[in-house]
Chains A and B, each alone.
Chain A
Amino acid sequence: MTPTVAFIGIGTNLGDRAANVERAVDALRSLGTIARRSSLYRTQPWGKRGQPWFLNAVIALETALTPEALLPQLKQIEARMGRTANERWGPRVIDLDLLLYGDLTIETPELHVPHPHLRDRAFVLVPLSEIDGRFDALRDALPRAELAGVVRVERESALTMLEERPLSAGDRVRALARFLDDSDAIRVRIARGDEEIELAANSRSMAPAAGRNDHGYGTETPAARVDTIKADLVGIFHLSRPVALEGEIFNADRELGYIEALGIRTPVHSMGAGRLVSMQTPDGSPVEYGQPLFLVARGR
């Protein structure tokens, strides 16, 4: 069978999102050749509050697999990545959607190609039109407000750039710092082999971390420490009222949520002052020991 170009949508809103996309792309390489790849886009989820934002991308995959063969492979990658991260409730670690398969239209109980929501999802059409101009018109037909909710987080893919050019560690940190500064990403982590770089940006709403320069890059990108507040017992996780909103600053320790287990509520605290960067686990989910619940940025 001659290879056909399939477009695959990637979405993630849990854990280390950029790394999730990278892992998914790596896994997709086993199914064909990656012909084109969009930038990463940050999307605010509609509807439900308290859900972390998504990172979305689209890739064009040249593949010899039939659509019937491709779909279970995608599901398998999802399952594998979901399982490794041990987070199976609420938001997914990774979502892979078969958007288009050549110019085929398929309607079976399992398979709907083109993807039924292709036309009304900005987070699909924006990255899709970036790598294939045929979809510009569809994209432009979407309401402006929806398009505004999808923000490109990289001018040129910082991740790709780092992959392609051998850079010194210092260059890498500087490139990442620039990338952070230019985007509205809060935290970026790149792990390759033994090496891992993690940078976090200070939000405008936080007091500037004056002159701190631990990382050897320019003072124009001050870094905040981001703590992960984790579950220390197994139970059902709930948000405490009033519910903390992402971005909320607390000047003292605050109860952010609680875990209910065997009829006992154990509060989850912010562990001091800080800013709530994101919620990692939806209200009402079962949580395991060590499961990330909140990211809290610390000032100064």
Chain B
Amino acid sequence: MGRRWSTDNPSFSWREGANIFTKVLIANRGEIALRINRACQELGVATVAIFSEADRDSLHVRQADESFCVGPGPAARSYLNIPNIISTALVTNCDAVHPGYGFLAENARFAEICNDHGLGFIGPKPSVIALMGDKATAKRVVREAGVATTPGSEVLSSIEEAYEVAESIGYPLLLKATAGGGGRGMRVVADAGDLPRAYAGATAEAEASFKDGRVYLERLIREPRHVEVQVLGDEFGNIVHLGERDCSVQKPAHQKLIEETPAPNLPAHIRGKLHEMALRASKYVGYTNAGTIEFLVSGGDAYFMEMNTRIQVEHPVTEMVYNVDLVKEQIRVAAGEPLGYEQGDLHSRGHAIECRINAEDPRNNFAPAAGAVSKLVFPGGPGIRVDTHLYAGATIPPYYDSMLAKIVAFGDTRDVAIARMERALRETLVEGVSTTIALCLEILATDAFRHGRYDVEFLANEILCVR
């Protein structure tokens, strides 16, 4: 191939002679659609945006080279409308599809259909998406690779079996539905006396919610931190990690609000263990493209939780400290390019924090807000990056995710990054809808956050409950 890759170029910028995809369909909306469009523009790759009727005036439609309406507002009929999306890629002569995150990003069938139609899917292979998409299978597979997973049982057949297994794992425990999600069919079991009631409750709730009453036991990890590792692999078996991100500031229902890298107060040996486990698991499944392996970290223990086979919302913090463009790298390796660098060539510098600005009301259980944004000011200045699709006068449709913007602050040290984030949030003005700006400021001001001593329960227990 006529491309030259240079490891002495710290920004991994693309050299002349690029011959990757000619046109990419961006199968997403909002800020990530803009993010992908930017990467394509810089690579000289033409773009086709898709949009729903509710997003006609959206920024991603305006900035792409071409745009196609693929359906009405509800996502099921537009951004999840596989036939219309594939048809758009074909009639506009695209040679690849970037799925972004959410929507079809982790739909193995969609990736397969893309390939069947001669379209490159900018992500891992369909078989790997399917493998890691099933949580139970993913755990079994990474255990085979020698990666620690939360100690737990197989599906329980009776309460008697539950007693037996519980004794061997040790209390406290978590009863979980195999078909579970969103906390339904889940019960905390403090000791053996709790088990009968928890078992009956979880089974009934799982049956009612998912028409599948099967449950299993897992050790309850107390006050865990959510730390994830970014990996990137090419199609020649080369795979590297780009450090970790601490995403422990989470809203109820495990939705991330603030992320940072490096993870604060993480002992070096645990950090090293996470990186090593992430590489081991990724290599074991033959992972290609960008992916993230999520771990629960508690004390000196770290357990594999799940793998996200796509670009993450919080990828910019990694980009800031590694000075790399992950979306460009995704496109490049999907086109069959080798990484061209090794783990030893990668060095992070400084600290980066991301705050998610969502259109929702933290005082009202994070109820999503829709409407028109009347006034809008975004921050700027040294070390600040804003990824957003918002503009003054924009209408926020009620159909989609409520995230409006990601504000990212970089600093040589964590303290500098926090100070920058605070002044950036104070510079930010979004009028017309309620947002998470004030809540983010409140979190940044706590001692727990300042000292980097927080876990996934922190937001719910120390801020939301005392409001």
Contacts and interface: CB of A to CB of B under 8 A. Distances in A.
Interface in A244-295: 261-262, 286, 288-291
Contact of B68 (A234, A236, A262): A234
Interface in B51-93: 53, 56, 62, 66-72, 78, 83-88, 90-92
Interface in B378-425: none
User: What does DSSP make chain A's interface, helix, strand, loop or mixed?
Assistant: loop
Interface string B329-369: 00000000000000000000000000000000000000000
Nearest to B85: A234
Contacts of B72: 289
B83 to A, nearest CB: 6
Contacts of A286: 68, 91-92
Contacts of B92: 286
Given A233-B84, A234-B84, A291 B91 contact: no
A235 B69 CA distance: 11
A289 B69 contact: yes
B434 to A, nearest CB: 27
A236 B91 CA distance: 7
A117 to B, nearest CB: 29
A89 to B, nearest CB: 10
A219 interface: no
B87 A261 contact: yes
A290 B53 contact: yes
B90 A288 contact: no
Given A234-B88, A235-B91, A286-B91, A88 B83 contact: no
A160 interface: no
A83 interface: yes
Given A234-B88, A234-B91, A235-B91, A290 B69 contact: yes
Interface residues of A, number: 14
A86 B69 contact: yes
A159 to B, nearest CB: 25
Contacts of A236: 91
Contact of A289 (B66, B70, B91, B117): B70
A86 B57 CA distance: 11
* Most interface-central of A83, A88, A234, A236 (chain B CB within 10 A): A234
Nearest to A259: B87
A235 B84 CA distance: 8
A86 B67 contact: yes
Contacts of B90: 262
A234 B87 contact: yes
* Most interface-central of B72, B83, B87 (chain A CB within 10 A): B87
A286 B68 CA distance: 10
Contacts of A290: 53, 69
Given A234-B88, A235-B91, A288-B88, A262 B69 contact: no
Contacts of B70: 234, 288-289
* Most interface-central of A86, A261, A288, A289 (chain B CB within 10 A): A289
Interface string A36-50: 000000000000000
A2 to B, nearest CB: 36
A233 to B, nearest CB: 6
Contacts of B67: 83, 86
Contact of B66 (A88, A233, A234): A88
Nearest to A235: B87
B93 to A, nearest CB: 10
Interface in A229-245: 233-236
Given A83-B62, A235-B91, A288 B86 contact: no
A83 B66 CA distance: 8
A8 B78 CA distance: 40
Contacts of A235: 87, 91
A233 B91 contact: no
Contacts of B62: 83
A100 B246 CA distance: 64
Contacts of B85: 234
Nearest to B77: A289
Contacts of B117: 262
A233 B83 contact: yes
Contacts of B69: 86, 288-291
A102 to B, nearest CB: 35
A288 B71 CA distance: 9
Interface in B32-57: 53, 56
A282 to B, nearest CB: 14
A288 B53 contact: no
B424 to A, nearest CB: 32
Nearest to B67: A86
Contacts of B83: 233-234, 261-262
A286 to B, nearest CB: 4
A185 to B, nearest CB: 27
A286 B85 CA distance: 13
A36 to B, nearest CB: 34
A141 to B, nearest CB: 42
B87 A233 contact: yes
B57 to A, nearest CB: 9
A90 to B, nearest CB: 13
Given A83-B62, A88-B66, A235-B91, A289 B71 contact: yes
A261 B56 CA distance: 22
A288 B88 CA distance: 8
A235 B71 CA distance: 13
Contact of A262 (B53, B56, B66, B86): B86
Nearest to A237: B91
A83 to B, nearest CB: 7
Contacts of A288: 68-70, 88
A234 B90 CA distance: 10
Contacts of B86: 262
A235 B83 CA distance: 10
A193 B318 CA distance: 47
Considering the complex of A and B, which 4 residue pairs feature the smallest CB-CB distances, nearest first? Answer: A286-B91, A261-B87, A288-B69, A234-B87
17 contacts: A83-B67, A86-B56, A86-B67, A86-B68, A88-B66, A233-B84, A234-B70, A234-B84, A235-B87, A262-B86, A262-B117, A286-B68, A288-B68, A289-B53, A289-B78, A290-B53, A291-B69
Given A233-B83, A261-B91, A262-B90, 7 more contacts: A83-B67, A86-B67, A233-B84, A261-B84, A262-B83, A288-B69, A289-B78
